[in-house]
Amino acid sequence: MRGGRTSLAREGATLPLIAVILALIAVWYVGAVALNAPQAREQLAEGAGFRDLAAATWSMTRPVLPAPHQIAVELARSLFTHPITSPRSLVYHAWVTVSAALAGLGFALALGLLLAIGIVHVRLLDRSLMPWVIASQTVPVLAIAPMVVVVLGNLGITGLLPKAAIAGYLAFFPITVGMVKGLRAPDPLQLDLMRTYDARAMQVFSLLRFPASLGFLFPSLRIAVTLALVGAIVAELPTGAQAGLGARLLAGSYYGQTVQIWAALFMAAAMSMLGLAAVSLIETLAARRRGGRL
Amino acid sequence: MTEVALLQPVMRDDLVIPEAVVSARDVSLVFDAGGQRVTALSGVDLTIAAGAFVSLIGPSGCGKTTFLRAIADLERPSSGQLLVNGMTPAEARRRRAYGYVFQAPALYPWRNVARNVMLPLEIMGLPRAERRARAARYLGLVGLGDFARKFPWQLSGGMQQRVSIARALAFEPKLLLMDEPFGALDEITRDGLNLHLHELWRRTGMTVVFVTHSIPEAVFLSTRIVVMSARPGRVVEIIENDLPATRDLDLRETSAFLAVAHRVREALRAGHSYD
């Protein structure tokens, strides 16, 4: 029933979605002409027509705004022409960033779950910890990231761990907040019921609070996945990392390689979507064990 | 299964008193609701013998649910003595002396019907095979044998409440505490479940303490009817119901039934007279 409704909704959404994408691409091409025209005119002969101008703006090596097909070509080249272990392959860079984001996500899950359990079960922690959890997110990640990287670097910790720490720093917040709400989701009767069985605290957690929280965990996880990726990319910026999508963005901007920047951006977006799809898949599997509902 | 047969004298404080499943002596319970003290129960004296079906009836706020929750150790009396199987309610709860059926089914929506019934058995550490056998048996008993694999939301309200009854029966408690279990159901479903519950009680011989708003329900099901009044919650009258032990729905049309119902109504009115 439920599945049927969503697939119907998807069918209905396909056409508008395609229309929006086509419109965006059209606007993009127009924008590329407008933004690249001053630079392109310098290279064109006197009296060149609009056609020549458009063609020139869409095929520059260092455009202000690259045309979509340029990005597509760059993506294809950097994805498929090099072995994926080569630093020239975008797959390699994507993996460097994604592995840090995944490690950070694991760290965020553990920390978020631990904090939520503490906050839900210990009144003192609810009062004392929650304000700090919220305050942690008011500090911009761009301010925190260099400090973490430098401090950990001085301790001899480099590579994946500092990036994972920053990714985790961003991602633990939605997980903590979601799990606190989720672990508190059982209604008083469901809790009273456990009391009438003289259930131990561990049983109340594993048989009631945790299963009840899953409906809250997955939306939090969606936000956490994208934040972890953002965190991992931002963590690559301050140190001038050699590898990773952040490093590609940085290198691209140093050398004015706008096409490379955009390709890295698209790759990052694709990784984000992959992560979201993975969360959805796990959610679907979890829901299936519960008769289709979380 | 007569009540008298199960009464066994025990020695306590140099007094011979009959062994009761629930015995309340001068039980009072005061809630502290945001600095305001609310007396939910005041001086309740009540003895419930083994095998009895006792209904607590009264207007909203008369403390009938509070009294039931106190028996279950979900609330703590402020004063007086409350014993369950001769123990404090807390001890009785730790020994899993009772099954509790709430106003709402309180099923866990992520568990299917059978696994909801198995929940207490899981907590009490029964072996898997035994859990399954009992779930099948008690779901059959409430007429839901074919719905074991359904999820709660796929069932009507009445069926959900039957699942919750099966869940309370599954660990085979000798005492069943029921808090307006059929309050939210339509009349016809309610009649069916009343008949069902009556037969269940007849067959198992367990003790039932049953909270209700409904006079016909109380008269139909009970061996004793405890009439309570509100502000403060107290016992107004205890009515022995001497209708035949085996009952069917037609009984409700007889003059004997209506006479008991009339007594209950008079007692409720008397409890109300001062406000």
Q: Over chain A, what is the mean pLDDT?
A: 90
Reading phi first (left if > 0) and then psi (alpha if -120 to 50, else beta), residue A48 is in: beta
Please name the member of B96, B104, B112 whose beta carbon is closest to the beta carbon of A198.
B96
- Which chain A residues are Cβ-neighbours of B184 within 8 angstroms? none
Residue B19 pLDDT > 90: no
What's residue B9's pLDDT? 46
Å from B173 to nearest chain A CA? 11
Give me the pLDDT at residue A189, please: 95
> A87 vs chain B: nearest CA distance in angstroms?
47
User: Domain map of chain B by residue range?
Assistant: 4-97+173-272, 107-172
Q: Is the pLDDT of residue A241 over 80?
A: no
Residues A187 and A280 in one domain: yes
Does any domain span residue A54? yes
The string of pLDDT tens digits covering residues B38-53 is 899 999 999 999 999 9
Question: Within a domain: residue A85?
Answer: no
What CATH number corresponds to the domain at position A249? 1.10.3720.10
- What is the percent of chain B with per-residue pLDDT over 90, rounded to a whole number? 71
Question: Is the Cβ–Cβ distance between A80 and A141 less than 8 Å?
Answer: no
Instruction: Give bridge partners of residue B238 from the DSSP assignment.
Output: B226
| Bridging pattern class, strands B98-101 and B79-84 | unpaired
SS3 per residue for B59-92: CCCCCHHHHHHHHCCCCCCCEEEEEECCECHHHH
Q: What is the CA radius of gyration of chain A?
A: 24
Of the two residues A9 and B270, the one the predictor is more confident about is B270
Fold held by B4-97+173-272: Rossmann fold (3.40.50)
Quick one: A279 and A172 in the same domain? yes
Q: Are residues A48 and A116 in the same domain?
A: no
* Each residue's pLDDT tens digit, B225-238: 999 998 888 999 99
- A127-131, A219-223, B42-46: least confidently modelled range: A127-131
Q: For residue A218, which residues of chain B lie inside 8 Å, CB to CB?
A: none
Give the SS3 label for residue B78: coil
Residue of B nearest to A189 (CA): B106
The answer on pLDDT for A149 being more than 60 is yes
Query: Which residues 126-165 on chain B approach chain A with CB closer than 8 angstroms?
Result: 150-151, 153-154
Q: Is residue A224 one of the residues assigned to a domain?
A: yes
Residue A41 — pLDDT band, cuts 50, 70, 90? confident
Q: Are residues A175 and A118 in the same domain?
A: yes
- My answer on whether A166 and A28 are in the same domain is no
Asked whether residue B16 carries a pLDDT value surpassing 60, the answer given is no
Sign of the CA dihedral running B137, B141, B143, B144: negative
Q: Do the Cβ atoms of A81 and A272 come closer than 8 Å?
A: no
What's the pLDDT at B8? 47
Q: Is A176 in contact with A213 (CB distance < 8 Å)?
A: no
User: CA A271 to CA A118: how far, in whole Å?
Assistant: 33
d(CA A289, CA B24) in angstroms, rounded, equals 46
Local confidence band at B3 (pLDDT 50, 70, 90 cut-offs) = very low
Q: Give the chain B residue whose CA is nearest to the CA of A215.
A: B110
How far apart (Å, rounded) are the C-alpha atoms in residues A251 and A255? 6
Overall average pLDDT of the A46-62 stretch: 87
Q: Return the bridge partners of A192, or none.
A: none
Q: Are residues A41 and A152 in the same domain?
A: no
Percent residues over pLDDT 70 in chain A? 95
pLDDT digits (tens, 9 = 90+) for A96-124: 999 999 999 999 999 999 999 999 999 99
**Does A292 have pLDDT greater than 90?**
no
Q: State whether A59 and A108 are in the same domain.
A: no
Average pLDDT for A50-56: 90
Sorting pLDDT into bands at 50, 70 and 90, what band is A193? very high
Q: What is the pLDDT of residue B35?
A: 81
Report the C-alpha gap between A157 and A151 in whole angstroms.
9
Residue A111 shares a structural domain with residue A229: yes
Average pLDDT along chain B: 89
The residue among B33 and B139 whose pLDDT is bigger is B139
Residues of A with CB under 8 A from a CB of B: 187, 189-190, 192-199, 203, 207-208, 211-212, 214, 290-291, 293-294
- Show the domain range for A12: 2-64
The contacts of residue A288 (CB under 8 Å, 6+ apart) are none
Share of chain B above pLDDT 70, in %: 92
Min Cα distance A193 → chain B (Å) is 8
pLDDT band at B273 (very low <50, low <70, confident <90, very high): low
Residue A80 included in any domain = no
Segment A10-24 mean pLDDT: 86
A131 and A19 within one domain: no
- Residues A122 and A202 occupy one common structural domain: yes
Name the residue of chain A whose CA is nearest to B176's CA: A196
How does residue B121 score in pLDDT terms, banded at 50, 70 and 90?
very high
> Would you say residue A134 lies in a domain?
yes
- Closest approach of B274 to chain A, Cα-based (Å): 34
Residue A66 identity (one-letter amino acid): P
Number of helical (H) and strand (E) elements in chain B, helices listed first: 8, 11
Q: In the structure encoding, which two tokens stand for residue A280, read together?
A: 């959805």
Q: Give yes or no for residue B167 having a pLDDT over 80.
A: yes
Crossing angle between the packed helical segments A141-154 and A210-236, to the nearest 10 degrees: 80
The H or E element spanning position A247 is helix A245-254
Side chain identity, residue A31: G
The count of domains in chain A is: 2
Statement: residue B5 has pLDDT above 80: no
CB contact under 8 A, B102 and A194: no
Does the pLDDT of residue A12 top 80, yes or no?
Answer: no
Task: Summarize the confidence of residues B145-168 as an average pLDDT.
Answer: 94
Bridge partners (DSSP) of residue B82 are B24
CA distance A70 to A252: 15
Last residue of a domain, one of A11, A30, A64: A64
Q: Are residues A13 and A146 in the same domain?
A: no
- pLDDT for B274 equals 53
Note the pLDDT of residue A10. 58
According to the model, what pLDDT value does residue B188 have? 87
Q: Check residue A240 and give its pLDDT.
A: 66
Is residue B6 within 8 angstroms of chain A, CB to CB? no
To probe the interface with B, which of A196, A207, A290, A294 has the most B CB atoms within 10 Å? A196
pLDDT for the residue B12: 44
Q: What's the whole-number mean pLDDT along residues A66-90?
A: 91
